[in-house]
Amino acid sequence: MVGVDSSGWLCVDIGTADTAAALGYGPHGEPKAVPLTDSGARLPSAVFVHSSTAMEVGAEALRRSRTPRDGVLIAPKQRIAHGDTSFEVGWSSVPLRSAVAALLRAAIARAQTVAQRPVTGIVLTHPQLWSPQQVQILSAAAADIGLPQHRIRTVPEPLAAVRFHQSGAPIPPGRRVAVVDFGSGSLDVAVLMAAADGSFPLLSARSDETLHLAAIDTAVRHWIADRLRDLDSDLAVPSAADPEADDPSFAETIRLARERLCATDSATLVISSGDEDEKLNLTRDRFDTLVHPFAVRAGDLVREALELAGVRARDDLHAMYLTGGGSRIPLIRDRLRSLGPITRDDEPETVTARGALRHPELGSAATPIGTLPPVTSRAPESGSLTGPLRRLPPLQVWQADSAGPDAAPPDAASPRLEEVMAERPAAPGIRRLLLPAGIVVVMVLIAGIAALLVTRPRPVTGTASAPATIAPAVPAIRATVPVGNGPSDVAVRHGSAYVLGADATVWIIDLRTRALRSVVPLGGNPTALVTDSRYLYVSADDRRGHGSVLVIDGATGAPQATIPVGPGARRLAIDPDRHMIYVTTSDDRNAELVAIDTETRTVTGRLRLEAGARDIAINTFTHTLYALPTPGGADRALRVIDTTTLTVSGTLPTPGGATGLTLNPNVHTVYLTPPTGSATEVTVVDTDSGAVTTTVPTGPPATRVALDTGNHTAYLAVTDQAAARLTVIDTVSEKVTATVPLDRPATAVTVDPTDHTVCVVADGVLWIVGS
Predicted confidence (pLDDT) per residue in 535-591, tens digit: 999 999 887 878 999 999 988 889 999 999 988 889 999 998 788 999 998 767 678
Using one digit for the tens of pLDDT, what is the confidence trace for 174-192? Answer: 999 999 999 888 899 999 9
User: Is residue 334 in a domain?
Assistant: no
**What pLDDT score does 418 carry?**
26
Tell me the sheet residues that pair with 24.
7, 31
Q: CATH number, domain at 725?
A: 2.130.10.10
Structural domain contains residue 201: no
Q: Can you count the helices (H) and strands (E) in the chain?
A: 10, 50
**Which whole number is the average pLDDT over 481-495?**
87
The number of distinct structural domains making up the chain is: 3
Mean pLDDT taken over the chain: 78
pLDDT per residue over 351-377, tens digit each? 999 999 987 766 443 333 333 333 222
pTM exceeds 0.95: no
Per-residue pLDDT, 376 = 29
pLDDT top residue among 711 and 561: 561
Both 443 and 518 in one domain: the answer is no
Q: Is 19 left (phi over 0), alpha (psi -120 to 50) or beta?
A: beta
Which tops the pLDDT comparison, 151 or 228? 151
β-partners of residue 671 are 662, 684
416 band by pLDDT with thresholds 50, 70 and 90: very low
Residues 371 and 422 grouped into a single domain? no
Residues 427 and 499 in one domain: no
CATH of the domain at 33: 3.30.420.40
Q: Which residues contact 253 (CB under 8 A, 6 or more apart)?
A: 434, 435, 439, 440, 441, 454
Do 642 and 561 share a structural domain?
yes
Q: What's the CA gap between 89 and 68, in Å, rounded?
A: 15
Question: How far is the C-alpha of 149 from the C-alpha of 139, rounded, in Å?
Answer: 8
Rounded Cα gap, residues 249 and 470, in angstroms: 12
Distance CA 9, CA 151 (A): 8
Res 412: pLDDT: 32
The answer to whether residue 617 is domain-embedded is yes
Provide the pLDDT for residue 333: 92
Give the separation between CA 746 and CA 487, rounded to whole angstroms.
9
Contacts of residue 544, Cβ cutoff 8 Å, sequence gap at least 6: none
* 116-166 pLDDT, tens digit each: 778 888 999 999 889 999 999 999 999 988 888 888 999 999 999 999 998
Mean of the pLDDT values across residues 484-503?
Answer: 88
Does the residue 91 lie in any domain?
yes
What is the pLDDT, as a whole number, of residue 752? 84
pLDDT of residue 668: 80
> What φ, ψ does residue 171 adopt, rounded to 5°?
-105, 120
Say yes or no: 371 and 480 in one domain. no
> What is the Cα–Cα distance from 750 to 204, expressed in whole angstroms?
47
DSSP 578: G
* Per-residue pLDDT at 633 exceeds 60: yes
Most confident of 431-435, 436-440, 721-725: 721-725
Residue 764 lies in a domain: yes
* Cβ–Cβ under 8 Å, residues 188 and 350: no
pLDDT of 439: 37
The single-letter code of the amino acid at 257 is A
What is the pLDDT averaged over residues 630-648? Answer: 85
Same domain, 96 and 238: no
Contact 685, 664 (CB under 8 A): no
DSSP string, 4-70: ---BTEEEEEE-SSEEEEEEEETTTTEEEE--SBTTBS-EE--EEEEETTEEEETHHHHHHTTSS-S
> Which residues, other chains included, contact 185 with Cβ-Cβ below 8 Å and sequence gap of 6+?
15, 16, 17, 75, 77, 78, 81, 209, 212, 214
Instruction: Kindly state whether residues 565 and 453 are assigned to the same domain.
Output: no
Contact (CB, 8 A) for 9 and 29: yes
Distance CA 140, CA 379 (A): 12
**pLDDT over 70 for what percent of the chain?**
77
Last residue of a domain, one of 344, 368, 399: 399
Q: Which of 14, 24, 117 is nearest to 74 (CA)?
A: 14
Q: Assign residue 699 a region: left if phi > 0, alpha if psi is -120 to 50, beta otherwise?
A: left
- Range 534-541, long-range pairs (CB < 8 A, 24+ positions): 535/560, 535/598, 536/491, 536/498, 536/506, 537/572, 537/574, 537/581, 537/598, 538/500, 538/506, 539/565, 539/569, 539/570, 539/571, 539/572, 539/583, 540/504, 540/569, 541/568, 541/569
Sheet holding 624-628, edge to edge: 615-619, 624-628, 638-642, 647-652
* Residue-wise pLDDT tens digits, 285-339: 999 999 999 999 999 999 999 999 999 888 899 999 999 889 999 999 999 999 9
Q: Where are the alpha helices (DSSP H) in 126-232?
A: 132-144, 157-166, 213-230
**30 and 146 inside one domain:** yes
Does 174 fall in a domain? no
Confidence of residue 672 (pLDDT cuts 50, 70, 90): confident
| Banded model confidence at residue 455, pLDDT cuts 50, 70, 90 | very low
Give the domain extent around 69.
1-167+358-377+390-399
d(CA 560, CA 538): 12
If you compute the radius of gyration of the chain from its CA atoms, what whole number of angstroms results?
26
Separation between Cα atoms, residue 394 and residue 178, nearest integer Å: 42
Instruction: Categorize the per-residue pLDDT at 341 as very low, low, confident or very high, splitting at 50, 70 and 90.
Output: very high
445 found inside a domain? yes
pLDDT at 237: 59
Question: 701 pLDDT exceeds 60?
Answer: yes
Are 462 and 483 members of one domain? no
CB-based contact 301:317 (threshold 8 Å)? no
Is there a single domain that holds both residue 437 and residue 585?
Answer: no
DSSP for 63-74?
HHTTSS-S-EEE
- Which pLDDT belongs to residue 438? 38
Average pLDDT estimate for 59-63: 81
**Same-domain pairing of 46 and 94:** yes
CA–CA gap between residue 489 and residue 246 (Å, rounded):
46
pLDDT of residue 69: 56
Q: Count how many residues are written for the chain.
A: 771
Residue 658, in any domain of the structure? yes
Among 752, 753, 765, 758, residue whose Cα is nearest residue 739: 758
- Residue 242 and residue 666: Cα distance in Å, rounded? 37
pLDDT at 758 over 70: yes
Between residues 723 and 431, the one the model is more confident about: 723
Statement to judge: residues 494 and 434 lie in one domain:
no
